[in-house]
Amino acid sequence: MSQTIRVLLVDDQELIRVGFRMVLEAEDDIVVVGEAGDGRDAVSLSAALEPDLVLMDIRMPELDGIAATEAIVREHPQTRVLVLTTFDLDEYAFGAIRAGASGFLLKDAQRHEMISAVRAVHRGDAALSPRITRMLLEHVSPQLGAPPAPAASESAALESLTERERDVFLAIGRGLTNAEIARTLYVGESTVKTHVGRVLAKLGARDRIHAVILAHRLGLGGY
């Protein structure tokens, strides 16, 4: 039996929350435990309800989604945040990364994309398809700038990867999921999961999004 994913919906538009709730609760393994209309309520409800995942809008009154994400990640590290974005403002996308978001979901995503993203973030997998990864990097690259010369610590961490771990790192940088990496490298998905854990640990990356950004900084992954 699949573990139930407890979700907190955060958006200042009630109709959007209603629509998301209908989509999510149609799934047997997802339950919406609460709703918030602004960032302040999101932070307080995260403390009260301890959701597994927060589906977070960015532009909201009182406290925006970036500040709310930062507070939730800091105070409740076990709770993952999946950010809703239209990618129309660079600083929002990059700000969400720095705040500790574990994934991104376009507001015009299809039903199956939303469900897949929620499940992926919950299990610690990538919530970035290659298409969204490219969009993310295209939009944040002006703020990241050209890939700088790697710091000594980054170079040493990269050198510490085995050949297979480096292959996995490059695949993460392309936004591939564990299943996609397994198919690409002709190995089992459980083996990929083990490699991903080792790669993140060796690189000191908080999650897969930060591994993607690190790949960009190192000039890897073909971006």
CA 101/CA 80 separation, integer angstroms: 7
Give 131-153 pLDDT, tens digit per residue. Answer: 566 666 666 555 554 444 445 56
Among the CATH numbers 3.40.50.300, 1.10.10.10, 3.20.20.70, 3.30.230.10, which is that of 146-217? Answer: 1.10.10.10
pTM attached to this predicted model: 0.73
DSSP calls for 88-133: -SHHHHHHHHHHT--EEEETT--HHHHHHHHHHHHTT-----HHHH
Token pair belonging to 120: 């992926």
What's the pLDDT score for residue 194? 92
Cβ-based neighbours of 210, under 8 Å, separated by 6 or more: 97
Domain ranges of the chain: 5-142, 146-217
Provide CATH code, domain 5-142: 3.40.50.2300
Give 95-113 pLDDT, tens digit per residue. Answer: 777 788 888 777 788 898 8
